[in-house]
């Protein structure tokens, strides 16, 4: 009773969830991913996630207790560790990744400090560093150009056995076609359900798109994530893929396969869980939309259909650079506004 | 791109509106703080053991038009000591044990023809009856009138809704006592020699009787006094602060402007003016909205000043959940106190008791540069930059410092901050430091 009745500052109700709630909610929506890794016996991936989690905690502990003498921020540290681990291939050596992530995060924390001190996304930065040091452990998705010329690349890839098909795919597809899609006059082919459920990639973030989408709905509905950045990013990226992707492989204009682009390469995962990382996005709604659009364009140029192991992270990295420019422009605009109206309410003090 | 904040997004629950109130029980022991206004000093005029009449002066100021505190109950002074008041401060208070006969409560009242009184007499009556202005900070009404520059006739700005959307006391008074409010306005307009009266009414305003007899209420002339009614959309926040009203009025009209030098009052103040001048009754009771999910019942009570909050909760059926926080004067603009024995004073309009599950953690983290505070600030401030300057001595431009005076204290910046930073409070402190 006493604790609850302690004196606090106003207001006594907040519109947005706190950082603790936000990070806690994101961690909660990642739990199904972890469970799925466990049930699909992907113990190597779990080990990698555990290693990155430990290195993230160690970097934060040293920074918090020895250098800055501040509170240990547990939820953000855990989330950072889990997200880094989710973007690493299960083939990556555990000890190596532990050291790389620890050094990268420690340098980032020491140089910039705090949760939102760094202009660069610490998750993307760690993955990019891991890629430069051990690119041989990252998978290479090289597919023949004739796949890319098609307007239904994903179906061709499914038919050619490049994606694993789940046992429940056929009955579930049939059920969905009969109950939902028949009313819309469309049918989905077999294989899409499996692609949504588990792509079978060795990078966990690329796998469970269904849980990523459900997680994003939870984050939007609980206001843990604002829509501007992820939605503008996804819309731009999808539009670019649909419009231009086949053209680069000698195909026709406006026939790109959006589903393939979204469900491979961790596009959705990066958009919902990584792109809006604290301190790396512009401040105004307009700036956030521009950031999403430019990052979406960069993502298309870097990873095309999304069949890239680190394309999403390089896109985030590029987005961070755009963000700096956008933030600079925001600052200039705000200073200009201030100089135009040093006292916006000067007229209020005029006597009638 | 500014984000306009909807009240429905800001509050954990919808604030109810009421059409009737009830008188609270008279407290067995009234605890009356001797300091109930800002920027004033009073001295106690009674001693322990003294027999007190209802409405008797307990404390007064040395200044001519200073603060005056009256006893809300008859009885004897059982103790003079220090208590914590609804502002959370330790102040001297008189405890009066209920005893003897009421001289005002329940007695037939005689209306006074106040229109015969000259301006100075009306002012004297308002002062002697201890009327305060509760529009913003609680200050002596007559002191405010005295400070109006004499060379011009001023505008009387009347807000008929509540500053904080989490309670509905002022709107209740305006809707249920329209005649009293209009009379209060006339009295006050006479006392300050007002040029015009601006009535700021909410869109959903439904008075029990029309405020004016004529149908076209937008602009009414009464002698040389002009009444203008302006509607505002109270589904958004903030709309009831001085600066919000100034923006609204000055944007809509080109014929006249209002400024800080005009007099701003609310329904509670006007009702007190009416009681003081028409019935010569000192401020000994007031309407208080009691609400919150931790209390069984809720509603508007007419409370004797000095009644402990504990008694009001008991009267409304007691606690249904553990009381988490006692919030005085609104979830957004109010403050919290810790003592259930804190008495109701002239400045209290609402008491909200929220259960522990609704209590939010006040733990602050570092700024994550989300920009939400800038996007919601109705006055165009950058609260994060000002906070950085105040808390960490970050360099900022003169332009940002100049915006400090524009802060309307609406706490929207705090309400949207995921890091729970005390932005509004820092701006207030910084404003004081820059002055």
CA–CA separation, A208 vs A34, rounded Å?
Answer: 10
Q: Are A210 and A33 in contact (CB under 8 A)?
A: no
The beta-carbon neighbor of A343 closest among B337, B367, B402 is B402
Nearest to B32 by CA among B343, B339, B351: B343
How confident is the model at residue A5, as a pLDDT? 64
Count CB-CB contacts under 10 A for residue A171.
Answer: 11
Task: Report the residue of chain A nearest B410, measured CA to CA.
Answer: A11
CA–CA separation, A285 vs A297, rounded Å?
Answer: 18
* Residue B137: partners with Cβ closer than 8 Å, 6 or more residues away: B38
Interface contacts (A, B; CB < 8 Å): 169
Nearest to B229 by CA among B220, B221, B237, B238: B220
Q: Which of A15, A116, A219 to mutate to test the interface with B (most CBs of B within 10 A)?
A: A15
Nearest Cα of chain A lies from the Cα of B248 at a distance, in angstroms, of 11
In order of A44, A146, A156, B30, B335, the CA distances from A251 in angstroms are 39, 9, 15, 87, 66
Task: Report the residue of chain A nearest B378, measured CA to CA.
Answer: A344
How confident is the model at residue A352, as a pLDDT? 30
Nearest to B308 by CA among B4, B19, B26, B36: B26
Strand partners, B319: B295
CA–CA separation, A221 vs A214, rounded Å?
Answer: 11
Q: Is the peptide bond before B238 cis (omega within 30 degrees of 0)?
A: yes
- A345/B contact by beta carbon, under 8 A: yes
Tell me whether residue B361 is exposed, middle or buried, using C-beta atoms within 10 angstroms of its C-beta: 0 to 12, 13 to 18, 19 or more: exposed
Mapped onto helix, strand or coil, the DSSP state of residue B73 is coil
How confident is the model at residue A304, as a pLDDT? 84
Count CB-CB contacts under 10 A for residue B268.
Answer: 26
Asked whether the beta carbons of residue B332 and residue A13 sit closer than 8 angstroms, the reply is yes
- Provide the CA B241 distance to its chain's centre, in angstroms: 11
B393 phi, psi to nearest 5 deg: 60, 35
User: A11 contacts in B (CB within 8 Å)?
Assistant: 331-333, 411, 414-415
What is chain B's percent helix, strand, coil content, to nearest 5? Answer: 30, 25, 50
Reported pTM:
0.89
Residue located via tokens 């402990």:
B308
Q: Are B205 and B161 in contact (CB under 8 A)?
A: yes
* Per-residue exposure over A108-124, b if at least 16 CB sit within 10 Å of its own CB, e if not: bbeeeebbbbbebbbbb
Q: pLDDT of chain A along its 352 residues, tens only?
A: 455 567 788 889 999 999 999 999 999 999 999 999 999 999 999 999 999 999 999 999 998 888 777 777 889 999 999 999 999 999 999 999 999 999 999 988 888 877 788 889 999 999 999 999 999 999 886 666 677 777 778 888 888 877 888 889 899 999 998 998 888 888 888 888 998 899 888 999 999 999 999 999 999 999 999 999 999 999 999 999 999 888 877 778 888 888 888 888 899 999 999 999 999 999 999 999 999 999 999 999 998 877 788 999 999 999 999 999 999 999 999 888 887 765 544 444 433 3
Asked whether the beta carbons of residue B325 and residue A12 sit closer than 8 angstroms, the reply is yes
CA–CA separation, B370 vs B184, rounded Å?
Answer: 47
* Residue A217: partners with Cβ closer than 8 Å, 6 or more residues away: none
Structure tokens at A160: 């050619």
CA–CA separation, B24 vs B284, rounded Å?
Answer: 13
Task: Report the residue of chain B nearest A276, measured CA to CA.
Answer: B370
Q: Are B326 and B349 in contact (CB under 8 A)?
A: no
Q: The dihedral of CA B375, B379, B381, B386: what is its sign?
A: negative
Asked whether the beta carbons of residue A15 and residue B246 sit closer than 8 angstroms, the reply is no
How confident is the model at residue A53, as a pLDDT? 96
How confident is the model at residue A341, as a pLDDT? 64
The conformation of residue A138, written as its DSSP 8-state character, comes to: S
How confident is the model at residue A260, as a pLDDT? 85
CA–CA separation, B158 vs B187, rounded Å?
Answer: 13
Question: Alpha helices of chain A — where are they, by DSSP H?
Answer: 19-39, 43-61, 74-86, 94-112, 122-133, 145-149, 153-159, 169-176, 182-184, 192-197, 209-221, 228-248, 258-263, 267-269, 285-303, 311-340
Residue located via tokens 């200050």:
B139
In order of B381, B388, B407, B417, the CA distances from B384 in angstroms are 9, 6, 13, 9
CA–CA separation, A111 vs A141, rounded Å?
Answer: 35
* Residue A31: partners with Cβ closer than 8 Å, 6 or more residues away: none
- In three-state form (DSSP H/G/I as H, E/B as E, the rest C), the secondary structure along B175-186 is HHCHHHHHHHHH
Q: pLDDT of chain B along its 435 residues, tens only?
A: 678 899 998 998 888 899 999 999 999 999 999 988 887 888 999 999 999 999 999 999 888 778 899 999 999 999 999 999 998 889 999 999 999 999 988 889 999 999 999 999 999 999 999 999 999 999 999 999 998 887 788 999 999 999 999 999 999 999 999 999 999 999 999 999 999 999 999 998 999 998 887 766 677 877 888 999 999 999 999 999 999 999 999 988 888 899 999 999 999 999 999 999 999 999 999 999 999 999 999 999 999 999 999 999 999 999 888 777 899 999 999 999 989 999 999 999 999 999 888 888 778 888 999 999 999 999 889 999 999 999 999 998 888 888 998 898 999 999 999 999 999 999 999 988 876
Structure tokens at B303: 């409370």
- Provide the CA B94 distance to its chain's centre, in angstroms: 23
Read off the pLDDT of residues B114-162 as tens digits, 9 standing for 90 and up: 999 999 999 999 999 999 999 999 999 999 999 888 778 899 999 999 9
User: B9 contacts in A (CB within 8 Å)?
Assistant: 15
Mapped onto helix, strand or coil, the DSSP state of residue B231 is strand
Q: Is the peptide bond before A11 cis (omega within 30 degrees of 0)?
A: yes
User: B420 contacts in A (CB within 8 Å)?
Assistant: 14, 18
Question: Alpha helices of A62-135 — where are they, by DSSP H?
Answer: 74-86, 94-112, 122-133
The conformation of residue B420, written as its DSSP 8-state character, comes to: -
DSSP codes, B235-280? TEES-SSHHHHHHHHHHH-SS----TTSEEEEHHHHHHHHHHHHS-
- A174/B contact by beta carbon, under 8 A: no
* Residue B9: partners with Cβ closer than 8 Å, 6 or more residues away: A15
How confident is the model at residue A348, as a pLDDT? 42
Structure tokens at B5: 């904040």
Structure tokens at B347: 């400045």
B251 phi, psi to nearest 5 deg: -75, -40
């Amino acid at each position: 009773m006493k604790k609850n009745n302690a004196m606090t500052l106003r207001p006594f109700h907040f519109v947005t969830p706190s950082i603790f709630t936000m990070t806690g909610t994101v961690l909660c929506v990642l739990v199904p991913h972890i469970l799925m890794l466990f049930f699909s016996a992907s113990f190597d991936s779990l080990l990698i996630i555990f290693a990155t989690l430990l290195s993230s905690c160690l970097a934060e502990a040293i920074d918090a207790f020895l250098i800055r003498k501040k509170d240990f921020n547990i939820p953000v540290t855990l989330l950072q560790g889990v997200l880094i681990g989710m973007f690493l291939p299960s083939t990556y050596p555990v000890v190596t990744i532990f050291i790389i992530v620890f050094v990268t995060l420690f340098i980032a924390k020491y140089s910039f400090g705090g949760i939102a001190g760094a202009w660069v996304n610490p998750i993307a930065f760690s993955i990019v560093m891991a890629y430069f040091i051990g690119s041989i452990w990252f998978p290479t998705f090289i597919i023949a150009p004739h796949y890319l010329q098609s307007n239904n690349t994903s179906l061709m890839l499914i038919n050619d056995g490049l994606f694993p098909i789940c046992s429940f795919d056929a009955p579930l597809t049939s059920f969905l076609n009969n109950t939902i899609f028949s009313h819309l006059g469309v049918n989905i082919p077999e294989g899409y359900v499996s692609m949504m459920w588990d792509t079978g990639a060795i990078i966990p973030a690329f796998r469970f798109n269904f849980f990523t989408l459900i997680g994003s709905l939870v984050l939007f509905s609980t206001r843990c994530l604002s829509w501007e950045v992820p939605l503008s990013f996804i819309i731009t990226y999808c539009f670019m893929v649909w419009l231009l992707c086949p053209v680069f492989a000698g195909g026709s204009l406006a026939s790109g396969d959006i589903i393939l682009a979204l469900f491979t390469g961790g596009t959705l995962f990066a958009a919902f869980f990584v792109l809006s990382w604290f301190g790396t996005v512009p401040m105004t709604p307009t700036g956030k939309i521009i950031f999403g659009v430019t990052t979406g364009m960069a993502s298309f140029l870097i990873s095309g259909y999304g069949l890239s192991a680190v394309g999403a992270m390089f896109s985030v990295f590029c987005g961070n650079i755009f963000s700096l420019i956008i933030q600079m422009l925001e600052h200039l605009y705000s200073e200009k506004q201030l100089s135009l109206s040093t006292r916006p309410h000067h007229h209020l003090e005029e006597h009638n | 791109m500014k984000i306009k904040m909807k009240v429905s997004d800001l509050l954990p629950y919808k604030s109810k509106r009421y059409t009737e109130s009830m008188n609270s029980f008279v407290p067995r022991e009234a605890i009356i703080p001797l300091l109930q206004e800002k920027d004033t000093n009073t001295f106690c005029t009674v001693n322990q053991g003294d027999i007190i009449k209802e409405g008797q002066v307990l404390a007064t100021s040395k200044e001519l038009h200073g603060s005056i505190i009256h006893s809300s109950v008859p009885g004897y002074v059982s103790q003079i000591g220090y208590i914590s008041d609804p502002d959370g401060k330790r102040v001297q208070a008189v405890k009066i044990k209920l005893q003897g006969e009421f001289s005002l409560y329940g007695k037939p009242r005689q209306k006074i023809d106040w229109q015969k009184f000259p301006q100075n007499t009306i002012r004297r009556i308002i002062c002697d009856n201890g009327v305060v202005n509760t529009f913003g900070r609680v200050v002596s009404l007559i002191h405010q009138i005295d400070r109006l520059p004499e060379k011009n006739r001023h505008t009387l700005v009347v807000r008929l809704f509540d500053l904080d959307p989490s309670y509905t006391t002022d709107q209740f008074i305006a809707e249920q006592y329209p005649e009293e409010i209009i009379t209060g306005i006339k009295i006050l307009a006479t006392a300050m020699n007002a040029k015009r009266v601006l009535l700021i009414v909410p869109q959903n305003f439904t008075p029990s009787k029309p405020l004016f007899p004529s149908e076209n209420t937008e602009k009414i002339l009464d002698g040389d006094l002009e009444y203008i009614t302006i509607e505002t959309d109270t589904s958004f926040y903030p709309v009831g602060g001085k600066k919000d009203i100034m923006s609204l009025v000055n944007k809509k009209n080109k014929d006249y402007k209002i400024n800080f030098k005009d007099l701003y009052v609310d329904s509670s103040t006007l009702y007190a003016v009416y009681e003081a001048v028409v019935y010569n009754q000192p401020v000994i009771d007031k309407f208080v909205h009691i609400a919150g999910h931790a209390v069984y019942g809720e509603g508007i009570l007419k409370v004797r000043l000095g009644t402990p909050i504990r008694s009001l909760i008991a009267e409304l059926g007691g606690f249904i959940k553990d009381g988490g926080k006692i919030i005085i004067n609104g979830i957004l603009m109010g403050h919290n106190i810790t003592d259930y024995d804190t008495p109701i004073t002239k400045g209290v309009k609402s008491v909200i008791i929220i259960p522990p599950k609704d209590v939010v953690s006040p733990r602050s983290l570092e700024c994550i540069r989300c920009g939400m505070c800038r996007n919601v600030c109705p006055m165009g401030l950058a609260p994060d930059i000002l906070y950085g300057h105040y808390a960490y001595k970050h360099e900022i431009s003169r332009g940002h410092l100049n915006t400090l005076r524009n802060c309307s204290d609406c706490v929207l910046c705090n309400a949207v901050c995921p890091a729970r930073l005390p932005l509004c409070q820092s701006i207030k402190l910084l404003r004081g430091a820059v002055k």
